[in-house]
Amino acid sequence: MPTAKRKLPEAGSHDLVCIMTGRLDQAQRIVIKVGSALLIEPDTSRVNAKWLGTLARDIAALRARGAHVLVVSSGAIALGREKLKFHAGLLNLEEAQAAAAAGQVDLAQAWAGAFASHGAPVAQILLTLFDTEERRRYLNARDTIETLLERGAIPVVNENDTVATSEIRFGDNDRLAARVASMISADCLVLLSDVDGLYRQDPKINPDAGFISEVTEITHEIEVMAGVPTQRTATAIGSGGMATKLMAAKIATGAGCHMVVTSGAREHPIAGLLAGDLATWFPASETPRAARKHWIAGGLNPEGSVSVDQGAERALRKGGSLLPAGVKTIDGSFERGAVVDVRTEKGRLVARGLSAYSSEDARRIIGHNSSAIESLLGYRGRAELVHRDDMVLM
């Protein structure tokens, strides 16, 4: 159950603070979500370059110790509406999409400029929730992000508001950040907000409201404290509600990713968080790898199966990936990213995993060395038919 605190007490709290901040300090893959209210100055409708510079230095420090960092950033609509001289107040869908298209250019330039002095290349990725749900698009997005991280880039993700087919809803980037964290098996998701975290009551109404530093289970009581999200289109400078952050927490922790909500209003917000600044943590009960394995093993229905020879089975038992050379037959019709059973030639279930190839392409490469894949298919695909990270032994 959550523990209520107005602030983290100085006495007797050192171990608790170390445990909570250690989730970020020890994380090797981190997603940081930045909202419009933090990034955009309300008086000028321009990027708060000074604040962004301090965040960039914090992120550079995380990268210096070897962590991969991805940013999910709002702000395109807020920047674009000023550039296009839209009226104050709510925008309709077409206006919001136009503002996003105009503002996205400035948003990308702001992030690239913030990291220029750190020698870190920035890459822009526009996603929708659909991109994180449809398997082929999910895998394409994941592979692109993985490549960027491996090459030392900082992916900056924003919702692709310009082509959204439904209303641009309040708080979508909270959920998008959680889905991206799940996609890349992140260890920690940081939601920088305009509030410190979760209170038992609205602190603006009750200054003595109890603060909740850790939520180990999202109960009905916790959901009532968070309130109900407001369904609107797009505000002048967007802000998210705590309810959407609880939705994000369910997604993130379900994927084995710790999540924390803390105020980003101060400079160097990540350094402050590591130093023990006020925050609400949502700890995951298992690692991203374990959560992914459980999801593959029991959360999805297989769409086909492959049979393997004894050599391939031995390699799988030792923790290896499934290579095309060890596959004898392909059963069923499926697309890339589908769940398939891996069986012996006698039909005994060995493993279950996500296929890197469609059934059609898989049939063309089985029995061949991975070096022959490009000549057989006409494109350079993965060396593995099922990678060990996308597979669980049964």
209 pLDDT tier (thresholds 50, 70, 90): confident
Return d(Cα 127, Cα 20) in angstroms, integer: 30
CA-closest candidate to residue 263, choices 34, 76, 50, 59: 34
pLDDT at position 171 over 70: no
Question: So what's the pLDDT on residue 235?
Answer: 41
Question: So what's the pLDDT on residue 93?
Answer: 83
- Of 168-172, 257-261, 319-323, 339-343, the poorest mean pLDDT is in 168-172
135 three-class SS: helix
Instruction: State the average pLDDT over residues 234-244.
Output: 58
Instruction: State the average pLDDT over residues 239-253.
Output: 84
Residue of higher predicted confidence among 96 and 298: 96
Distance in angstroms between the alpha carbons of the first and the last residue of the chain: 34
Amino acid letter, 164: A
pLDDT at position 7 over 60: no
* Assigned token pair, 379: 């494109």
pLDDT at position 169 over 60: no
Question: So what's the pLDDT on residue 4?
Answer: 38
293 three-class SS: helix
pLDDT tens-digit series, residues 12-61: 455 656 677 778 989 999 999 999 999 999 888 899 999 999 999 999 99
1 pLDDT tier (thresholds 50, 70, 90): very low
Question: So what's the pLDDT on residue 15?
Answer: 62
pLDDT at position 391 over 50: yes
Instruction: State the average pLDDT over residues 136-152.
Output: 91
244 pLDDT tier (thresholds 50, 70, 90): confident
Instruction: State the average pLDDT over residues 84-91.
Output: 86
Residues 158-193 as b/e (b if ≥16 CB within 10 A, e otherwise) read bbbbbebeeebbbbbbbbbbbbbbbbbbbbbbbbbb
Return d(Cα 252, Cα 198) in angstroms, integer: 17
Question: So what's the pLDDT on residue 299?
Answer: 59
For tokens 């890459």, the residue is 123
264 pLDDT tier (thresholds 50, 70, 90): very high
Question: So what's the pLDDT on residue 330?
Answer: 97
Cα angle value 59/283/122 (rounded, 5°): 20
Instruction: State the average pLDDT over residues 330-347.
Output: 94
Cα angle value 276/282/286 (rounded, 5°): 115
Question: So what's the pLDDT on residue 90?
Answer: 85
- Of 107-121, 235-249, 351-365, the poorest mean pLDDT is in 235-249
236 pLDDT tier (thresholds 50, 70, 90): very low
Question: So what's the pLDDT on residue 230?
Answer: 43
pLDDT at position 139 over 80: yes
Percent of the chain having pLDDT more than 70? 89
Q: Is the pTM higher than 0.85?
A: no
* Beta carbons of 87 and 47 less than 8 angstroms apart: no
Return d(Cα 230, Cα 356) in angstroms, integer: 40
* Beta carbons of 334 and 359 less than 8 angstroms apart: yes
Question: So what's the pLDDT on residue 168?
Answer: 42
Mean pLDDT of the chain: 87
Residue of higher predicted confidence among 208 and 153: 153
Question: Residue 256: which region, alpha, beta or left (left: phi > 0; alpha: psi -120 to 50)?
Answer: left
